[in-house]
Structure 1
Amino acid sequence: MATSSPVLTRRRERPLSLVTGARRGIGASIAAELARRGFDLALIDIDDEGAHDTMAAVESHGVRARFYRHDLADSGGHRALVDRVVSDCGPIACLVNNAGVSAEMRGDLLELGEASYDRVVDINMRGTFFLTQAVARHMAAHASEHARSIVTVSSVSADLASTERGEYCMSKAGLGMLTKLFALRLAPLAIGVFEVRPGIIRTPMTEAVAARYDERIAGGIVPMQRWGMPQDVASAVAALASGQMTFATGSVLNIDGALSIPRL
């Protein structure tokens, strides 16, 4: 399913960004910030609940947007999705890999089951890899007047281990290698590839454990002594997407209030 403003089918002069997991939380903030900086948007999510509000926020900046309902775990459908986006909207200048899921239930690593592992890895790692591959093929085959970038939103859990949600940590660690590999492959094409690692961010995904994190933040786990907000992540992603940091391709940016800095 796709929805759009009526003028979307005209070819764009603005760069186009494709953002996954875009209907709420961090993804919605990223989409709105990219719109504020002059990107048109193709918004991707598994569900359309709340997508109308995100579309309105994006279009309030005077850009065009289109929403596509798509399951990131359906890697066989990624190429068709990219073809639809390009046909509808024009060439993709920026991919933001934001969609992902957490562990369904925190628990003992020794009790982690295959179903939970497969669900998280299929979406966070496998799905993200093959969508990135599909977009990278499109970028490699078509020249662009705009700066081009791929930004993957992973987590500090790519490096900081939590035995209660091992499948999540492993999937995010895999995204770190994804960033390195695509940075090397696409560097000759001047396509910047980056990883953004949020820390403890106030979103619908963290709402269920908010009380626990309130206590830990009060106890000093985050040196900046506050929750991160979706806008903190959005500002970083938009800066990387701008094309002004292409020579830093392969870099990781921690958006975590110094949470990930080792301390004695």
Structure 2
Amino acid sequence: MSNRRQALVTGGGRGIGRGIVLALAAEGWHVAINFRSNREAAEEAAAGARDAGGEATLVPGNIADPASRAEVAAATLDACGTLDLLVNNAGMAPRQRMDLLEMGEASYDEVMDVNLKGPLFLTQTLARHMVDRVDSGGSPGQIVNIGSISGFTSSTNRSEYCISKAGMTMMTALLADCLSPWGINVYEIQPGMIETDMTRGVKARYDALIDDGLTPIPRWGQPEDIGKAVAAIAGGALPFSTGEVIRVDGGFHMHRL
């Protein structure tokens, strides 16, 4: 394990997170798989990582909770020894979609804690480790934040989600600026419509929209599409980029007539 590159993927048990775990494992990484409650899914992801040629360790914890978040950071460094890559993937949609004029503070707080506050302060802790490693003569790590096209696309029935993802774009820029003296590059990947548990409830609607030309690439994205993008960054494919937003959305972001 000591000869492997070391990564933490939050929310790594299912969906996009699992796609990232498997892509990194295929490149030989040891991946700490963080999960909040679904241990069975995380164990399946870990087994898949090992089958793909990597190694995996389960790191349970809720990044929205300060004490649990600290335990995740400590357990990751204990299991990995160091950290070459942090992937802030864990996220949630509102439990109930409500119009902006009806959205409650409890839903706003919950979504922001998971999608923005938790990742920010987890990164603060682990970035200090990366900085210390560089100061001690070691190599810099990398950070990848998983945002969303919802960060620049209005959905008034899940405003808290859109706000949290828009905030992640600025979080990426701030971290890239702050950490640049140590050579620690920070990126954001903005997935489009990805076929996961989170999107299952709107699948029929988006099937029709995709058929009608919503995206130039006429299909759902898959978790492995995001995994490939993360693995490319992790492999050093973008050494002269930081603070960069990479859209893996089938071309959704383009202005078209």
Shorter-chain TM-score range: over 0.9
Q: Does residue 1:53 correspond to 2:34, yes or no? A: no
What residue is the counterpart of 2:117 in the other structure? 126
Give the 5 Å matches for 1:180-191.
180-191=173-184
Unaligned ranges ≥5, structure 1: 1-10
**Match for residue 99 of structure 1 among 76, 90, 93:** 90
Give, in whole Å, the separation in 2 of the partners of 1:49 and 1:173: 32
One-letter identity of the residue aligned with 1:28? R
Give, in whole Å, the separation in 2 of the partners of 1:75 and 1:248: 31
Per-residue CA distance 1:151-170 (angstroms, 9 max, x = gap): 00010011111111100000
Q: Which TM-score applies when normalising by structure 1?
A: 0.92
**Match for residue 243 of structure 1 among 229, 233, 236:** 236
Give the 5 Å matches for 1:214-233.
214-233=207-226
**Match for residue 164 of structure 1 among 157, 165, 168:** 157
Residue 173 of structure 1 deviates from its aligned partner by 0.3
Q: Is the 8 A contact 1:192 1:243 kept in 2?
A: no
Unaligned ranges ≥5, structure 2: none
Residue 221 of structure 1 deviates from its aligned partner by 1.0
Q: Does residue 1:150 correspond to 2:150, yes or no? A: no
Q: Does residue 1:114 correspond to 2:91, yes or no? A: no
Q: Which TM-score applies when normalising by structure 2?
A: 0.95
Q: Is the 8 A contact 1:33 1:238 kept in 2?
A: yes
The count of corresponding residues between Structure 1 and Structure 2 is 254
Per-residue CA distance 1:154-207 (angstroms, 9 max, x = gap): 100111111111000000000000100000111111111000000001001101
Q: Is the 8 A contact 2:62 2:69 kept in 1?
A: no
Give the 5 Å matches for 1:169-180.
169-180=162-173
Mean Cα displacement is larger for which, 35-44 or 102-111?
102-111
RMSD: 1.4
Instruction: Give the secondary structure class of the aligned counterpart of 1:111.
Output: coil
Per-residue CA distance 1:195-248 (angstroms, 9 max, x = gap): 000000100110111111111111111121111111111101111122231320
Q: Is the 8 A contact 2:59 2:75 kept in 1?
A: no
**Match for residue 13 of structure 2 among 23, 39, 46:** 23
Mean Cα displacement is larger for which, 79-88 or 118-127?
79-88
- Quote the sequence identity (%): 43
Q: Is the 8 A contact 2:216 2:250 kept in 1?
A: yes
